[in-house]
Structure 1
């Protein structure tokens, strides 16, 4: 009997009576909703004594009778002041005086027979996904209003207490995006994106960073990053580069100067990896994203992985966006933080190539995804493209060739020829982004433009790539 957000009920009564507890029970079993009561307010908008007494007594009466936590507040409804009882969905079916009520289409009825069986056997109904589960302990007032304003595009100076129409519009926008339920409580995604301390409601909604030196086991020192998801991404990257990847190089006017360690990957690539880990994590696991820093590598590990049919080769190749948390990814896309096209892995690889840094390696486990950035080997980029075997002392998570490279080698072998190292490098780059030009590729690979164009011709002759559109505005497409 799952209730859709658009059909969440609103019941109206003139005064609070004992039978209102039957109504609250029915609304909670139906997925939550609101109960609107008349309020006695003077001309100045001050609640009169009788209404004030009712406001104080209702939450306790509901809690005692139904073991349910409900909020009550004064609202404007149709131009007049009313009391609004916000009723959350019952986590399990509840009864009042031995009867199970269910509110639907304006009627509160007692369930029996098959209808009662369906209510008492939730496994017969679709599960509510983690993303849209309500966080009944929180409300709009608990969220960071600057983050809410950024997401909804409203003024940061809006007073949600007095600007009730504005608050209603904001709630509607958040409900439409899956960040709030129809009864005014944030969802897990709403808390994750818009609350300053989401770990208070979502276990493990943090990032842990540890420095292990040249060994595993217990970290030598560590940090835990808190805050909204966006803040966690930025704070993780800043902490990594300022504390874990920098060395003291000297003193200037009594102030220590720092520089990044040799072979440090580009900041934007690591930012993309941390963002991917937080966006695609399985939050039901209660496990933080873990960033392990060794002397020769950074490994970013999260519980959650792409579809089980995907191999590392599929992950490295062209693929559609298949997020574990589609509501969260849609919200991040709306904020302009991700593009939602499944380009995250390609973006990391391309950023490293352009910076002349070693390409990251990837590993897919049963329920985890790990990306590792090498720190201390300048030749890792060449090796990752040219050599399918791991380099000694480097723990590459990628143990198979990218699909496009394996296919290219097989095609060349069938034609009794082989690809040069430059051919494979050029192919790897245009597989990530077919819009790359010869000058840009030449600059990134430190080779001449003529060498790049020869690789273009060779790849085209072997049938590995084709040009779509004109030389000026077209792009390369890997077959």
Structure 2
């Protein structure tokens, strides 16, 4: 069960005694985790004496054998004295020692009678510690990438944390407030994922797998697995995709190499970067399944276990919506780093980047427990011809195999008013359907038309009741009805 930093239990004993201390560990774990502080024998140079060293090495094994808990033991300074600190994780469900259940409260360890045990079991059923806030007791702040830690906390990179204890304390406090570390000095899952160089060592499946499948599914022709912190996984995945799996056309031979779908429709790098970041930030890490990126000759698909609220449809995902992350602590940390904005704009950003680059809009699919985004790499898909190629001669055929629902509705509304929409009207409508905050100058630049043409489209679409202006001309936005 969860416990706040302020309520994490701390017990102190002069030495380790198996029976008493195992009961204490059992009670602290049932109370939400905490620390057991033991006196340590050190010499004048701070070196641990033999007896204390033997105890320090033995305690984790004794606890694991008796209580099936993984506890870390470290030598720490506590109120100016060297002590052994036993870091005790919260138990996912109440545990017992020799058939008795204990609960540490108000500085004392209590053996629970039947009634108290029933209350503990009931509370355990009601409280669920989110995955990202669970402690990783095998790790400490020393195991984290200090470059990432100082980047997140704003600490000086030149600080020697082994000497400047005040700076170390300030860093740990910042990480605790962000949910990246517990009150007993162990990183949380979110902290490991964001700040550790090898999170897959603690979190099964915390990687990205990339495979090239050619024109068929089945076994990949070749594949890679990407490791590292979450930020490193994003950058490495995108680099691999564009350097190895989606190389640019060969200008000398005008031939197209692997994964470029005949050279047309290669998705924009920024859109793919945003899609990979979204997948890693919103993944259900309890699944133990890596992010899967599948490259075919005509599409690039990113699939992760994890989806928005079950009441959401694809239409809700594509429309304006609030940010509802699966991992709010992780997303908040990424937002503080400036990596994401945290306002639910990721999907609209991907769609807009594809439209501005003149590539087909990606397809989205929501399954029972998965989210997939697929970038078509086929020049005959969706609106690639009409939106992406304003330089085509007027007599060139406009390839349009499938229209978005908003444009089908617009055409039907125009026909009901005995009029029709121009191609520019449809393009403008498609762009503000993705992002209603787009201005006339930006739309004009991306569609290679004049601002006056865009404003005429605004007026026509508004007269037909297809769009409405919310707020002022300066700070408002367009809403597609």
TM more than 0.5: yes
Distance in 2 between residues matched to 1:382 and 1:57, nearest whole Å: 66
Residue 330 of structure 1, aligned match among 332, 335, 339: 332
The DSSP-based 3-state class of the residue aligned with 1:380 is coil
> What is the aligned length?
465
Residue 443 of structure 1, aligned match among 423, 438, 445: 445
Structure 2 equivalent of residue 170 of structure 1: 171
Question: How far does residue 111 in structure 1 lie from its aligned partner after superposition?
Answer: 0.5
Question: How far does residue 298 in structure 1 lie from its aligned partner after superposition?
Answer: 0.9
Structure 1 segment 43-442 matched on structure 2, within 5 A: 43-120=44-121, 124-246=125-247, 249=250, 261-377=263-379, 380-382=382-384, 401-402=404-405, 404-405=406-407, 408-409=410-411, 411-412=413-414, 415-442=417-444
Question: How far does residue 384 in structure 1 lie from its aligned partner after superposition?
Answer: 9.0
CA deviation profile, 1:216-275 (whole Å, cap 9, x unmatched)? 222111111111111111111100100011157379xxxxx9997432111001101111
Distance in 2 between residues matched to 1:344 and 1:433, nearest whole Å: 11
Distance in 1 between residues matched to 2:418 and 2:266, nearest whole Å: 40
The DSSP-based 3-state class of the residue aligned with 2:341 is coil
- Relative to 1, partners in 2 of residues 1:27 and 1:469: Cα closer, same or farther, differing over 3 Å? closer
Structure 2 equivalent of residue 13 of structure 1: 13
- Relative to 1, partners in 2 of residues 1:60 and 1:202: Cα closer, same or farther, differing over 3 Å? closer
Gaps of 5+ in 1: 252-256
Distance in 1 between residues matched to 2:53 and 2:17, nearest whole Å: 15
Distance in 1 between residues matched to 2:384 and 2:251, nearest whole Å: 33
CA deviation profile, 1:302-328 (whole Å, cap 9, x unmatched)? 122222222222211111111122121
Structure 1 segment 29-40 matched on structure 2, within 5 A: 29-40=30-41
Distance in 1 between residues matched to 2:436 and 2:400, nearest whole Å: 29
Could you tell me whether the CA contact under 8 Å between 2:246 and 2:258 is conserved in 1?
no
Could you tell me whether the CA contact under 8 Å between 2:259 and 2:296 is conserved in 1?
no
Could you tell me whether the CA contact under 8 Å between 1:25 and 1:101 is conserved in 2?
yes
Could you tell me the TM-score, scaled by structure 1's length?
0.87
- Relative to 1, partners in 2 of residues 1:383 and 1:115: Cα closer, same or farther, differing over 3 Å? farther
Could you tell me whether the CA contact under 8 Å between 1:249 and 1:258 is conserved in 2?
no
Could you tell me whether the CA contact under 8 Å between 1:357 and 1:378 is conserved in 2?
no
Gaps of 5+ in 2: 389-398
Distance in 1 between residues matched to 2:251 and 2:2, nearest whole Å: 64
The DSSP-based 3-state class of the residue aligned with 2:115 is helix
Could you tell me the TM-score, scaled by structure 2's length?
0.87
Question: How far does residue 53 in structure 1 lie from its aligned partner after superposition?
Answer: 4.5
Distance in 2 between residues matched to 1:385 and 1:129, nearest whole Å: 44
CA deviation profile, 1:400-420 (whole Å, cap 9, x unmatched)? 945x55664565455454433
Distance in 2 between residues matched to 1:56 and 1:295, nearest whole Å: 55
CA deviation profile, 1:185-210 (whole Å, cap 9, x unmatched)? 22221121112222222222111111
Alignment RMSD (CA, Å): 3.1
